[in-house]
Structure 1
């Protein structure tokens, strides 16, 4: 499942706890993720799923749900 894999990668790159993450979790407001942290996460996701995430779309990501929607649009399967 994309959500579980995403949480695993977030734990490695953002030092968060899995119980802190839901679909509605906001990267900036809830997890205090800054642009460099998000860039690091995006790089890890691109490598993990062998995709390229358009920067303009990455800039629109606010929540975990936003990120999962983008991953699905880019062909990442459940």
Structure 2
């Protein structure tokens, strides 16, 4: 997974500058995401990275961008 590509995707989704997205960015506290936003993130990641085995039930376990990156790697 290319972090810079993910950074661009998330910046566009959440209408923020790319440099505001770091590995420590908290989806809920920093990006004001809700559960529907997180589902959208998951769907975009599945499409962008051709991931078919992502466990959507785990989505509520992730708070930071880094946690998602680590899970997918």
Q: How does the TM-score come out when normalised to structure 1?
A: 0.81
Q: Which residue of 1 aligns with 2:46?
A: 46
What is the SS of the residue equivalent to 1:29? coil
Aligned length: 72
| Aligned-residue offset at 1:11 | 2.2
Cα deviation per residue 1:26-59 (whole Å; 9 max; x = unaligned)? 1001111111111111101100111132022222
**5+ residue gaps in structure 2?**
none
Query: Aligned partners of 1:17 and 1:38: how far apart in 2?
Result: 19
What is the RMSD computed on CA atoms of the aligned residues?
Answer: 1.3
After TM superposition, the runs of 4+ consecutive aligned structure 1 residues lying more than 6 A away are none
Query: Under a length normalisation based on structure 2, what TM-score does the superposition of the two structures give?
Result: 0.86
**Are 1:66 and 2:63 counterparts?**
no
More helix by share: 1
Q: What runs of 5+ residues in structure 1 fail to find an aligned partner?
A: 73-78
